[in-house]
Each structure stands twice: as C-alpha cells, then as structure tokens.
C-alpha cells in the first residue's frame, strides 16, 4: 500500500495511529538533531519529523532515516511511514497543523531535478516559464483549487440538467463550417484529397438537427474551436455548456437556465439570489444606460444622454456631435488634476478611442467648476447635474462624438471608475438577461449585414415585416446571460421554417446555391417536420473564472495556449514531415 491517508487528512483525533503518506517534498529543514519535511499532495501539506526521540526505526536505523531526510530535494516523491503525534508548536494556518508524523520509515520513490520555479501558493516563475512547465504549475495550490472548482461545476451542471430531463449527446468534431463569426480551424482529409474538415466553432447545426430528430432536451459540455485573435478571456479551443430544447419559447429557455444558474451558484459558491426572475434588460436599454451589451449592474453611475440639453451654445465640439452623454462619479469632486488626466489618458488609449474628457466638479457647497466654464453658465451645468442625479461632491464626465464610440468611452470610463472606487467586489454577483438584440449588424467596410448572433436566430415575429423594409431595425429572439459585466452565455430561439431560413441567408449575402452548398443539410432537415426550438450555450471556462474570482480563463484550463495560440509545453503547432504532407496532398508555401 502506497498510502493510508492523504497529506491533507490527518487531525488531532488521529494521534497515536500508524500511518503511511506519499507525496512531493515541499520543504526540508535540518535543525541538527531533527529534520522537518513538508510533504504535499493535492489534499494538503503534512509535517514529517525525523527525530531521535520519536523514531522507532523499523526498516532503517535512526541515522540512515535522518540521512535520507537530509538528502531530499524539493519535489522528490517520497513515501513516509510513521506515527501521528500532537505538535508542540501548532500551525493554525493549515488543516493538519495540530499534528506531525514521527517518522519510522522514509523511502524515495522518485528523485526530482530542481524545479525551474517555486511550487507554492505564490510562485517566483514568470508566465512563459510556468506555461512551459505547466505540469509543475498545476501542482501549485491555486491551480489545483481552480481545477477542483471546474470539476465541481461540471458535476453540478450535469446533475442539474440530468434531473431536468436533458440528454448528454456528443456531436462530431470533424465537420464543416458552422458560422459563429470566427475563422475555422481546418483539418485536411487524407482519404478525400483536396478536401478539409472544419472543427466546430460550436455544435450549433448538430444540436438543431437533434431537435428535428426528436431529442427535445440536449446538452453537452463540449470543446469549441475558433481561430481568432486571443485575449485574456479567449482561447482557440474552449469549452461550452451547450444546450438546446424543442417546443419552447424564449421565456421557457430563460426560466430553465435561470434555475441552472441558481443551482450552480448555490451548490458551488453557496450564493443564493432573491426569489423572482433575474432582471431582463432590452439591448437598447443596456446600450443607452451602460454603453455596452453586458452591463455590470453591481453599481450605478449610469450613463445619461445630454445631446439635446448641451447643444446650442458656442461650443463647437458639442454642436457638431451626434451624441453627448455623461456619467457622475460618486464622491469624486476632490479628484486632483492628475487623477483626471490619468482617466483621460485611460480613455484615450486606441482600444477605447476617446478624443478627450470634459469634466464638471460639484463641490461640497454646490459650487460648479468645469473644463467648459467658458461656454456654459453654472446654471446650465447644474441642469445637467440634475438630469444625471449628480449630488454635491460628485464629479461628472461628459463625452461627445459619434454615438457608438461615445457610449463605448463612457462604458469603459464607468467600469474603470467602478474599479477605482472599489464598486466591483468579486464576491458579489449581479446576474441579468440582456434580451431583444438586433438581428443584424451592418458592416460599413464590406457594405453588408452580418448576423449579430448567428444565421439561425429567429427574428421576433412582430418584426418580420421589417425584414423587407428596414432589416437593421429587426429585433431577434436572442438573449445573453450576463454576470458582473461578463457575457457568460448566449442563445436564441431558432428559425425552423425553411423559407424564412432561406430569406435570412439571402439577407446575409448568400446566393441560394451557396446557402444550399453550405447549409442544405439543415434546410432539408427542416422539410421533414422541424419542431420549434431554441437554446443557449454558456462559456464554461468563463463561468469557472467568474466563480473563482479571476479575469483569466487560462487559469481554469489545465493546458491552455499562450497569446500566440501556441502550446509552448509540447511545442505546437509544429511542422509536419514531407511524407505526411504528401499523403495529405498538401504543399507548404514559404513566406515571401
């Protein structure tokens, strides 16, 4: 038997028991007469002591036992037998801190080179090094906790959906393009020369085919692949909790997955939300009040439009603007010039793209001072303040320009102020549904419409007539689940009428032949009795990072890719040998 207990399991009540532990050496301290070893596994750390007084010397003599202890290096794998004794100096910081093991035997199972970084709660290794030795990083308690959260959440989801009657059905990875707005990863087919599979951006078309097939509640915790530029919350392969239901309307889907979310929050984090449905906010309201479609509603400081009020004085910047809007930073009237400049620089970064920030200070006496005092009277500015609900002691920021850009600036400014003011507490959760998304999005560059969600999303029945007259105005039966400013999930009610689906492809610029070639299988299936259906997919990695209180999904994926899409541990992607290329009928073209 390698072990009788784990390194996290022994307590004062085990005192006197003979035990065997196995694990990794975290630390060795030779104090002369005694040597202390911290042994670690994923359950915890236990202190071992090779000590003259306690040693019983079963298979090794005292001297050799201590010699073995003193010879240990970090990360050696050892097996330690001994007796549980109460510690004289207890360590309340660890669960096993009341006891230690007086060693009677100690074996080295595996030696270890000195690890390239410390394997402790906080490591001294940089990102790249830790990615290269990911298996060592994964030994660290923070990552082990993350993997455990992920595991627990997966079990919780499976349990819930199973009890609700959902079937877990796997769909293939070698498929053809499913449009979710990213590029495909493609895989050449040896048996079908010059032809390629695409890895699924999502199982969207298959889950819809499962509805046609009569499996009215489907789910899958499934890998999806999207070839897009990476950020902290994106990975080329990521996991979704993918779900679909037949004979449902939007409200049925929202209620089912609200129950799922409540269940996960409760079971994994012990967080309970008040009874009653989660808030539902139309997309247009989210944009107007928060400047984006995934509002963080843990705090106020909402955006107010001032376009009508602020025009008509001598200030050309405002007079020429399509939109003028503002937020009031609560209690920030005391901000220094330097603090205001910092915020201005923050929103001027190219990703945000502000031209500048107008500020208006309302001091504790109600006196108003601003960067536009030349153009507006204190009464003008007080009227704006009352429009915003700004109080004495607040600092207002006004942004103007093109509507969409200004809203983005205000949104980013609001979130940054929320961070600075400590209003975005990671232990508080504010879920909501954003609903009534536009069906289509116009792209100036390519002068065509794109599906805002995907081409299978159904328009709202009352807006269908607008498809012919003003397609940009059509709202979709689409919804996002948003928590703390993070889009955790999104889905829609689908089109199940082949004629409407064909109309949609037409609007998206597909010729009937192209639509038939790419999605004929789905439209044909709809001719054989398609039930009304809809669904949703949750970003599982994001859900995990949200629950774990981190901004990076990478910390919740055992073996993630770096920002260039590389796995630096196994060194992928990599060239393949000429014979393999030949077999696949492929030739690589060197860069020019």
> Given the complex with ligand ASP, which of 318 and 519 has the nearer CB atom?
519
What are the counts of helices (DSSP H) followed by strands (DSSP E) for the chain? 17, 22
Smallest gap from Cβ 489 to ligand ASP, in A, equals: 8
Alpha-carbon distances of 491 from 202, 208, 218, 240, rounded to whole Å: 12, 12, 14, 12
Smallest gap from Cβ 47 to ligand ASP, in A, equals: 49
> Given the complex with ligand ASP, which of 413 and 452 has the nearer CB atom?
452
Orientation of helix 403-420 relative to helix 337-348, angle to 10°: 130
> Given the complex with ligand ASP, which of 245 and 413 has the nearer CB atom?
245
Asked whether 544 and 238 are in contact (CB, 8 A), the reply is: no
Residues across the chain = 592
The distance from CA 142 to its chain's CA centroid, rounded to whole angstroms, is 17
Angular region, 562: left φ>0, alpha ψ -120 to 50, beta rest: beta
- Facing residues of 459 across strands? 476
CA distance 297 to 216: 34
Smallest gap from Cβ 201 to ligand ASP, in A, equals: 7
**Number of alpha carbons in the 13 Å side-chain half-sphere of residue 319:** 7
Smallest gap from Cβ 204 to ligand ASP, in A, equals: 4
Beta pairing class for 99-110 and 44-51: parallel
> Given the complex with ligand ASP, which of 75 and 436 has the nearer CB atom?
436
For residue 389, the surrounding DSSP H or E stretch is: none
CA distance 366 to 392: 5
Smallest gap from Cβ 306 to ligand ASP, in A, equals: 35
Tell me which residues touch ligand ASP (CB under 6 A).
Answer: 180, 202, 204, 490-492, 535-537
Alpha-carbon distances of 149 from 193, 336, 428, 478, rounded to whole Å: 44, 42, 17, 29
DSSP secondary structure of 181-226? SSBPPEEE-SSSTT-EEE--S-SHHHHHHHHHTT--EEEEEEEEE-
Task: Quote the radius of gyration of the chain (alpha carbons, Å).
Answer: 30
> Given the complex with ligand ASP, which of 227 and 363 has the nearer CB atom?
227
Smallest gap from Cβ 493 to ligand ASP, in A, equals: 9
Q: Return the structure tokens found at 172.
A: 């293939």
Smallest gap from Cβ 500 to ligand ASP, in A, equals: 17
Smallest gap from Cβ 244 to ligand ASP, in A, equals: 7
> Given the complex with ligand ASP, which of 14 and 204 has the nearer CB atom?
204
In the three-class reduction of DSSP (H, G, I as helix; E, B as strand; rest coil), residue 37 is classed as strand
> Given the complex with ligand ASP, which of 123 and 208 has the nearer CB atom?
208
Smallest gap from Cβ 494 to ligand ASP, in A, equals: 8
CA distance 57 to 67: 13
> Given the complex with ligand ASP, which of 136 and 452 has the nearer CB atom?
452
> Given the complex with ligand ASP, which of 69 and 546 has the nearer CB atom?
546
> Given the complex with ligand ASP, which of 140 and 226 has the nearer CB atom?
226
Asked whether 128 and 568 are in contact (CB, 8 A), the reply is: yes
Per-position b or e across 57-91, b if 16+ CB within 10 A of its CB: eeebebeebbebbeebeebbbbbbbbbbbeeeeee
> Given the complex with ligand ASP, which of 414 and 453 has the nearer CB atom?
453
Smallest gap from Cβ 143 to ligand ASP, in A, equals: 27
Smallest gap from Cβ 179 to ligand ASP, in A, equals: 10
């Amino acid at each position: 038997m390698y072990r009788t207990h784990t390194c996290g399991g022994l307590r004062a009540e085990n005192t006197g028991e003979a035990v065997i532990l196995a694990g990794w050496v975290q630390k060795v301290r030779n104090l002369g007469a005694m040597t202390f070893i911290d042994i670690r596994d994923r359950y915890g750390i236990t202190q071992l002591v090779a000590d003259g007084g306690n040693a019983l010397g079963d298979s090794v003599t005292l001297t050799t036992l201590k010699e073995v202890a003193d010879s240990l290096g970090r990360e050696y794998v050892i097996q330690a037998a001994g007796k549980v004794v109460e510690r004289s100096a207890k360590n309340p910081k660890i669960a096993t801190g009341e006891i230690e093991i007086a060693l009677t035997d100690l074996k080295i199972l595996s030696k270890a080179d000195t690890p390239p970084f410390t394997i402790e709660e906080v490591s001294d290794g940089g990102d790249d090094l830790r990615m290269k030795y990911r298996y060592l990083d994964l030994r660290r308690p923070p990552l082990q906790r993350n993997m455990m959260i992920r595991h627990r959440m997966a079990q919780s989801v499976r349990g819930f959906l199973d009890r609700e009657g959902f079937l877990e059905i796997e769909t293939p990875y070698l498929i053809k393009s499913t449009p979710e707005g990213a590029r495909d990863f493609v895989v050449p087919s040896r048996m079908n020369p010059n032809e390629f599979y695409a890895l699924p951006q999502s199982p969207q078309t298959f889950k819809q085919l499962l509805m046609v097939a009569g499996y009215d509640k489907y789910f899958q915790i499934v890998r999806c692949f999207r070839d897009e530029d990476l950020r902290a919350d994106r990975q080329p392969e990521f996991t979704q909790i993918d779900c679909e239901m037949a004979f449902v309307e939007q409200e049925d889907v929202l209620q089912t997955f609200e129950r799922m979310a409540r269940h996960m929050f409760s079971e994994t984090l012990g967080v309970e939300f008040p009874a009653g449905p989660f808030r539902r906010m139309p997309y247009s309201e989210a944009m107007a009040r928060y400047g984006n479609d995934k509002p963080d509603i843990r705090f106020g400081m909402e955006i107010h439009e001032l376009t009508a009020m602020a025009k008509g004085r001598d200030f050309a910047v405002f007079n020429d603007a399509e939109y003028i809007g503002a937020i009031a930073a609560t209690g920030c009237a005391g901000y220094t010039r330097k603090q205001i400049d910092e915020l201005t620089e923050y929103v001027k970064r190219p990703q945000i793209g502000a031209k500048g920030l107008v500020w208006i200070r309302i001091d504790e006496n109600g006196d108003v001072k601003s960067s536009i005092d030349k153009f507006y009277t204190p009464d003008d500015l007080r009227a704006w303040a009352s429009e915003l609900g700004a109080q004495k002691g607040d600092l207002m920021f006004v942004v103007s320009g093109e509507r969409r850009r200004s809203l983005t600036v205000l949104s980013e400014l609001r979130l940054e102020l929320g961070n600075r003011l400590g209003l975005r507490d990671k232990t508080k959760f504010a879920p909501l549904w954003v609903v009534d998304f536009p069906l289509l999005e116009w792209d100036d560059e390519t002068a065509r419409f794109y599906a805002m969600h995907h081409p299978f999303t159904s328009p709202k029945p009352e807006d269908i007539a607008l498809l012919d007259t003003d397609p940009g105005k059509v709202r979709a039966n689409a919804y996002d689940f948003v928590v703390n400013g993070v889009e955790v999930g999104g889905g829609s009610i689908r089109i199940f009428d082949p004629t409407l689906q064909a109309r949609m492809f037409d609007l998206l610029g597909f010729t009937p032949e192209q639509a038939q070639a790419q999605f004929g299988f789905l439209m044909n299936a709809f001719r054989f009795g398609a039930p009304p259906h809809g669904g949703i997919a949750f970003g599982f990695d994001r859900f995990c990072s949200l629950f774990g209180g981190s901004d990076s999904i990478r910390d919740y994926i055992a073996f993630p890719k770096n920002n260039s899409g590389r796995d630096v541990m196994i060194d992928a992607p990599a060239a393949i040998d000429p014979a393999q290329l030949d077999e696949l009928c492929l030739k690589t073209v060197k860069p020019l």
